[in-house]
Structure 1
Amino acid sequence: MQADNQVIFATAVFLITYAFIVSEKIHRAVAAFCGAALVILAGIVSEEAAVHYVDFNTIGLLIGMMIIVGITRQTGVFEFLAIKAARGAKGEPVRIMASLALITAVLSALLDNVTTVLLIVPVTFAIARQLQVNVIPYLIVEIMASNIGGTATLIGDPPNIMIGSATHLGFMDFIINLTPVVVVIYVVTIFLLKLIYSKQLATRPELMNNIMAMDENAEIKDHVLLKKCLTVLGITITGFVLHQFVHLESSVIALTGAALLLLVTRMDPEHAFQAVEWPVIFFFIGLFVVVGALEEVGVIEAIASFALEVTGGELLPAGLLILWLSAIASAFVDNIPFVATMIPLIQDMGRLGGISDLNFLWWSLSLGACLGGNGTIIGASANVVVIGMAEKRGVPITFMAFFKVAFPLMLMSIVIAMLYLMAWYVLHSTVAMLATLAVGILLALVLGRSGKGKEPAVHKTGN
């Protein structure tokens, strides 16, 4: 196949695959796998290159955390936390909403947002049933909290896992650079959601007493297993914090944690591996190959060159362009394939445009893709999971019902993120400028003293 035809074919396969993923006419894992098979069969990507394009660090991290969370789920600790939060809120519906949102955000940062909503949503239905209130406000708040919380850490949201793997940014890099703005966005978003839904969540005192009568301790099914799971989970998270210093990939930490938990619990591996969402894993594998085909034929490089022309190769305009593009795009298409496409594009922008500090662009991509997922019900995997669980329980949430609440709040969060990135850029630029100025002054002083020291010798030679 000639070069021009390869470009056309690879682009067509990518767009068709993307269309099937968005439309959900067929399962997204099947769509991605078929796209990968086509580009390999057409000779655009060789078998060896296909393996190279698959990011096994992302795959390993996902599998390891899925095993750990799957085993931990059996202890009932997540139900325990949800009921304890509801009782801590004294059964008051709006306070319960805020409490569940906080648990969802924290767990989404420490585990991952898809797993978190799978654990929290069933308990939410039980609580709403006891209070006899509309469950939809709770579900919308939990969707938004999961995506906001997942933005804060390396392991919280699949886009961050992919960015961290591609750039070798560590767990603490995400904590230091993203958590401050995520906390601000979370507080503002939950405050506004409480104002929006406060009138819809009125209930009677006797129903609030039903919540207070619930026993969270009864939810713990296996105390011995719980201790083992929390110990291994603590060791694993500590490993994430230290992985840059011990020079281990995050996937190694996650898989080691999973292996340790399997060892100490002596759980049947066949049963434990059922917790791994294999369709998600194979979706990632296929997607990496399809995007790799675009990289192979030069499409990614061409788009990167165009982006550099538009922004003039300046860091701040490039970062803000990526932020808003990621946010709007991720609101209407799943953020995982979008980020998979953007990662090599940003890498090429750095290579072609000579942008030395790409971290600013990575933070822009992370904030845009993760927060943008809050814009619509199809914007992120967690959204789709919650909507599906609600439909199975006879509580459909329409696109527009979610959109009219979530999209304006998503735009607000992106404005806050934009202000944060601008401040981040100015601060780092100022620090760099002051450092350069200090070095210049130091060199001037050194050279000045050196020059003064040489004056007598020059004078003596002149005589």
Structure 2
Amino acid sequence: MNITTWLAVAVFAVVFVLIATEWVHRVAAALGGAVAMLLIGATEPDHAFFSADSGIDWDVIFLLLGMMLIVAVLKRTGLFEFIAIWAARKARGRPYRLMVLLILATAIPSPWLDNVTTVLLIVPVTISVCRQLGLPVIPYLIAEVMTCNIAGAATLIGDPPNIMIGSRAGLSFNDFLIHMTPIVVVLTIVFILMSRFLFRGAFHHDPERVAAVMEMNPREAIKDMRLLILSGVVMSLVIAGFVLHTVLDMEPSVVAISGGLVLLAASRLNPTEVARDVEWDTLAFFAGLFVMVGALVQTGVIGELGRAAAEAADGRLFGTAMALVFGSVIPSGLIDNIPFVASVSPIVAEIVESAGGLEEAGMLWWAFALGADLGGNATIIASSANVVVVGIAAREGHHISFWQFSRYGLVVTATTVTIAAAYVWLRYFVLV
């Protein structure tokens, strides 16, 4: 590696430490790192701002912006308070029962919506219900985003890395249902059981608050029925657009930003007030992170990581599969898994082709997908959904530190990835 490559690695390492230790605000660290990458020549403006492979992913930025606008309008209808009161009553105020209910409410839509969209919709509900019951918010938010990262792995459209893998490997929606959904169901059940012990410190309830919530009428929380109906129509069209985006030949980002702007215009709300609820800090953090990771792609660092994992297996299918499951976790935990998958998937394609194509070595794609998707639970910057949840929590006065998240995330990642590796071994090497 040349001096620029080493400098790029050093810049990223310093920024990672700053984010992990919180010596500098994460947005300032990410944007500062992006500027440093430009100054040392690890990337250049053409790549940083205009490259789909090694620059800011504008599809992600505009998808987030569109959904944030929709959520900002929905918040004014009282819908989140309605669902929160309903969920609290359904769980009868029992903290663990409530967590299971919220985990299931996250897991069911996650395979059908982008995981960022799912958390944008479920997080406001969670914050509201925890406030109603006097419960600590952070454990519930962490449980939900981890559920989202697990459940989103079930389908082609549930997690952005899956879309990229499906496109590169020529895998269909049904292929993902057959190969990924069974293990995702198992992992979701395992996580529900784990959550009973991981978050046990949060399961203390106030009987007086529970009694007060049980007496509430959820319908009284609705503030604007006209706006709620309008939002429901737009949201339904947006979800349909997400599910059918390949048929419509329309990127999810276009669907989201179109829905957000249409709803904002039709709502007759003050655009300035709605814009205040957009997580601009989160969007800026993503931009900086994309530029930094793009620089690592440009300098070949991420590609080298992928090749090293493949070479370590020495061409043997079982060894390669295990290298992809476990080897994808570390880089996916250190950087957002979207650019990691974008840069390593060509290497996996070469390995699959040289090993006999999809018929003989197709399971390597599933090993790769599982490692990349599940590695998204390791740290707060490992997946887009994590970054969004941390940003919303901070805006609402709930600070989630890097190590607070990783304390749970590393345990969940280690457990789920080990089970996923056992699944790959059992399904593709034993039961054949």
Is 298-307 or 225-234 further displaced after alignment? 298-307
Q: CA deviation at 1:43?
A: 3.5
Q: Which amino acid aligns with 2:282?
A: V
Matching residue of 2:46: 48
Q: Residue 344 and residue 284 in structure 1: after superposition, are their counterparts in 2 closer, same or farther (change >3 A)? A: same
Question: How many residue pairs end up in the alignment?
Answer: 418
Matching residue of 2:344: 345
Partners of 1:8 and 1:30 in 2: CA distance: 22
Among 266, 277, 280, which residue is 1:278 paired with?
A: 280
Partners of 2:44 and 2:363 in 1: CA distance: 33
Q: Render the CA deviation track for 1:298-317: whole Å, top value 9, x for unaligned.
A: 33333333222112245554
**1:77-226 → structure 2 map (5 Å cutoff):** 77-106=79-108, 110=113, 112=116, 114-116=119-121, 118-129=123-134, 138=140, 141-142=143-144, 144-152=146-154, 178-194=180-196, 201=203, 208-226=210-228
For 2:276, what is the secondary structure of its paired residue?
A: helix
Q: Residue 155 and residue 388 in structure 1: after superposition, are their counterparts in 2 closer, same or farther (change >3 A)? A: farther
For 1:58, what is the secondary structure of its paired residue?
A: helix
Q: Render the CA deviation track for 1:59-96: whole Å, top value 9, x for unaligned.
A: 22222222222222222212211211221234444433
In the alignment, does 2:416 pair up with 1:413? Answer: yes
Mapped contact 1:86–1:99 kept (Cα < 8 A): no
Q: Residue 6 and residue 117 in structure 1: after superposition, are their counterparts in 2 closer, same or farther (change >3 A)? A: same
Partners of 1:73 and 1:173 in 2: CA distance: 37
Q: CA deviation at 1:119?
A: 0.8
Q: Residue 188 and residue 426 in structure 1: after superposition, are their counterparts in 2 closer, same or farther (change >3 A)? A: same
Q: Which amino acid aligns with 2:224?
A: D
Q: Residue 187 and residue 419 in structure 1: after superposition, are their counterparts in 2 closer, same or farther (change >3 A)? A: same
For 2:77, what is the secondary structure of its paired residue?
A: coil
Mapped contact 2:123–2:389 kept (Cα < 8 A): no
Q: Residue 147 and residue 285 in structure 1: after superposition, are their counterparts in 2 closer, same or farther (change >3 A)? A: same
Is 142-151 or 66-75 further displaced after alignment? 142-151
| TM-score, with structure 1 as normaliser | 0.73
Partners of 1:346 and 1:383 in 2: CA distance: 27
Q: Which runs of 5+ in 1 are unaligned?
A: 431-463
Matching residue of 2:24: 26
Q: Which amino acid aligns with 1:344?
A: S
Partners of 1:154 and 1:67 in 2: CA distance: 25
Partners of 1:402 and 1:206 in 2: CA distance: 34
Matching residue of 1:8: 6
Partners of 1:176 and 1:411 in 2: CA distance: 24
Is 75-84 or 42-51 further displaced after alignment? 42-51
Q: Which amino acid aligns with 1:128?
A: L
Is 55-64 or 349-358 further displaced after alignment? 349-358
Q: CA deviation at 1:264?
A: 2.5
Q: Which amino acid aligns with 1:123?
A: S
Q: Which amino acid aligns with 1:42?
A: I
| TM-score, with structure 2 as normaliser | 0.77
Among 381, 397, 401, which residue is 2:387 paired with?
A: 381
* Aligned-residue identity in percent: 36
Mapped contact 1:305–1:352 kept (Cα < 8 A): no
Mapped contact 2:309–2:327 kept (Cα < 8 A): no
Q: CA deviation at 1:238?
A: 0.9
Q: Which amino acid aligns with 1:96?
A: L
Q: CA deviation at 1:239?
A: 1.0
Matching residue of 1:310: 312
Question: In terms of Rg, which structure is larger?
Answer: 1
Partners of 2:296 and 2:332 in 1: CA distance: 20
Q: Which amino acid aligns with 2:322?
A: L
Q: Residue 184 and residue 208 in structure 1: after superposition, are their counterparts in 2 closer, same or farther (change >3 A)? A: same
Q: Render the CA deviation track for 1:208-261: whole Å, top value 9, x for unaligned.
A: 543321221122221111111111111111111111122222212222222322
Matching residue of 2:74: 72
Q: Render the CA deviation track for 1:425-456: whole Å, top value 9, x for unaligned.
A: 469x96xxxxxxxxxxxxxxxxxxxxxxxxxx
Mapped contact 1:316–1:425 kept (Cα < 8 A): no
Q: Which amino acid aligns with 1:237?
A: I
Partners of 2:405 and 2:250 in 1: CA distance: 45
Mapped contact 1:114–1:381 kept (Cα < 8 A): no
Q: Which amino acid aligns with 2:345?
A: I
**1:314-393 → structure 2 map (5 Å cutoff):** 314=316, 317-327=319-329, 333=334, 336=336, 339-351=338-350, 354=353, 363-364=366-367, 366-374=369-377, 380-381=386-387, 384=390, 392=397
Partners of 1:396 and 1:30 in 2: CA distance: 17
Q: CA deviation at 1:176?
A: 6.4
Mapped contact 1:346–1:361 kept (Cα < 8 A): no
Matching residue of 2:37: 39
Partners of 1:134 and 1:286 in 2: CA distance: 31
Mapped contact 2:281–2:391 kept (Cα < 8 A): no
Matching residue of 1:59: 61
Q: Which amino acid aligns with 1:125?
A: C
For 2:24, what is the secondary structure of its paired residue?
A: coil
